[in-house]
Structure 1
Amino acid sequence: MSSRDEDDGRTGPQPRPFVLLVEDDDGDAVLVTELLSDAQVDVDLHRARSVAEAAAELERGTVDCLVVDLGLPDAVGLTAIEQLRRSSRRHAVPPALVVLTGHSGVDQGVDAVAAGADDYLVKGETGPDLLGRSLRYALQRRSSEAQQRALYRSEVRAAETARLERALLPRPLVADEAVSVMVGYLPGGEGLLGGDFFDTVQMSDGTVLSVIGDVAGHGPDEAALGATLRTAWRTLVLTGTPPQDVLGHLERVLVTERTGPEIFVTLCQVAVAADRSWVDVYLAGHLAPMLLTGEVGAVRCADIVPESRGRALGVPVPGEWRAHRVALTGPFAVLTYTDGLVEAELAGHGEAPGRARGRATPRLGVPGLRTLVQDELDSGGFVGVVERVLRRVRRLHGGPLVDDAAMLVVGWTGYDDVVGERSSTLADSAEWARS
């Protein structure tokens, strides 16, 4: 096996380095082969007789190291190095390059190193130990470069992820201290961000608007689109757009920014009246929220059953988004969430809350989530309920969820002098691996 067999993350013996000897002279090629054998360098050695053959080999697969004669039929001197370096550009990490020269002087070898070679050897003056040491050092330098590039990509990816997380998970803009805002986000498998987004903003008249949405799919493109829509939604609210007009304007942003016509967004918008006597619920193909009511120690969770459901944003069918009004008195909170929570699988965890018996592929479902929320309210109270629910869903699933999931709870304490709960939970893979 050669190193052109791409690393697929499997454990086991590492493939031998693929070394390509570029040498037109049969005698010199045999000599190099014998020297490598005497040096006991464990490599997968192949041969090309010209720069053109070597370039074709580079196109076919990964080459870890090139051993190049500077006197080839189609390239002489440094030209061979330049051409092979150009042919290696498609490789994530260019192969190591060791030059063979027939000149005993150092000038040509030094020039070769300056042109990009890792080392140079003089024919007739090179023994097994020198050749073996040169190849080992060149291959080690290539391995170190690959590790550095992988580390850099990881750091860049982490920075981009953090930037998207900041855009997706903003700080709520709510001045009324009696309003509670609790948010939580669980990235999907492998920690990849998805298109879930949410936000809460208090308007100038005291109305508190909240939104939770889900871009179809998950990955960096969906995350970026979710961040764009979250920013657009906040801008619309801050500029005084009436709640009933926000979704139409947001759909125009979606149609402009999405990568294809098949991309759509489900969304739930909740408007809490300035006098806290009612909430309006707008649904765009999204799951209906739940309503939490009652005093501390006796909070009850129930489904909000809307009179109508609007279409998802970006779906080219007629339809509009009408508010479903719920009249309220005393303390309350509206719990919104994305479908990643209710799609959590429960196989191997017994009879979880709300789970129907006999299902082939049991999932938490809306009834299960409602029962789970009620259990957490009864056992731990209102404070911190979002984080506790997310942790419990993750435990029932047995690890990271397949899809990302978000939860947003917005409510009113019932008294202007009672401060509401504010919390934000982002499930970090290192911390939550222990949960």
Structure 2
Amino acid sequence: MLALLTQRRFAPLFWTQFLAAFNDNFLKNSLIFLIMAKLSAGEAQTRITLAGGLFILPFFLLSGLGGEMADRYDKAKVAQRLKLSELAASALSVVGFIEQSIPLLFLALVLFGVVSSLFGPIKYGILPDHLLKAELPAGNALIEGATFIAILFGTLAGGLAARNSGDPAPFAVGMTAISLACYGASLLIPPTGEAAPDLVIEANIFRSTGRLLGDLWADSNLWRAGVMVSLFWMFGIIALSLLPPMVKMQMGGDEMAVSLMLALFAVSVGFGSALGAFFCRDGIKLASAPFATLAIGLGGADLAFTLHGMTPAVATKSLGEFFDASAAWRIAFDLSLIAAAGGVLAVPSFSAAQAWAPASSRARVIAAINVLNSAFMVAGTVVFSMLQAAGLSLAGASALLAPICLASAIWMFRYGPQDPPRDPA
């Protein structure tokens, strides 16, 4: 699997995704810490959940356009132009951080979401252009690993940058340098050619999105694989939106405690992704997906049980004091279980979708799945945000994961897609 990291057909895409995900999370977590520093606990929880939803919203609106662009034009060239445009969003985020302006940082986050939504069909659609079907689980695991290890570093950097209201100099240097490096990595992605040179791009984003979802629905294997991938992202964004207020406001941790827990979550997703690729070492197999979903629900149930009745703790002075509490270790284990099981769910599901998709429309299939992902994530964040605003506790929100995961696992057992065929000998 790691041999792909030394090959040009994969390595530049890996580093482009790694650096882009770093900046996304560097900005998002810097914003989260500023929100928690400036707003009351109840208002901060709602704004944090909203931040996650706003980043995801462009995926719902623009993934269809991104898929059409990726099939119509050379995917590598589109990626390079998108990463060039991302430099402007980086500059806006630097201004917002210098001014300590939450609205400007929200706007920069939306712009990063726009670029990411257009890049999404490329980063997953390009893999089957350069990899064999048997290599797709490993390629997806590495891309997922790149994403969540970048979350680790971006989270730690965001916590450091925003600590004590934040020094703008490290944020400005880090954001600018990583954006330039990301653009440089994109220039090395090998060309793919035009998969559908006669495709006419639909200017109406709502019509193109509807058409893509209709095409996805028409193929039962692709639709069901897309739903499975979307469930992973919905569970993930809910867990990530609950984590900062849980650690800081419920358990009394500081910014570094939040960063450490987020980093643990990211590493666990990477570990789960590698485990998912291991289960598919002899071919893409989906049998592990429903069991992984049950494990996510188990982690949510135990997390709720641990948080139930816990009174908000006073702020701790060090990581040692934070982890002196036994509940901190149990919550860390539950979050790791949720994250690792999510990785096991995601890798075979996405690999199956890539393998089933026709080459001439693969990027549009990935785009349709991204729309489905964003719909699940936006719905999840909106519902949980409304429930939190109405007074739902963190324990109650965690408990909701259990019945949702149980129903999802039963659906996978009964209606899951078929395993795709292997590469011809």
Flag whether TM exceeds 0.5 (same fold).
no
TM bucket, shorter chain: under 0.3
**Structure 2 length normalisation: TM-score?**
0.27
Name the larger-Rg structure.
Answer: 1
Higher relative contact order (CA 8 A, sep 6+): 2
Please identify which structure carries the higher strand content. Answer: 1
Please identify which structure carries the higher helix content. Answer: 2
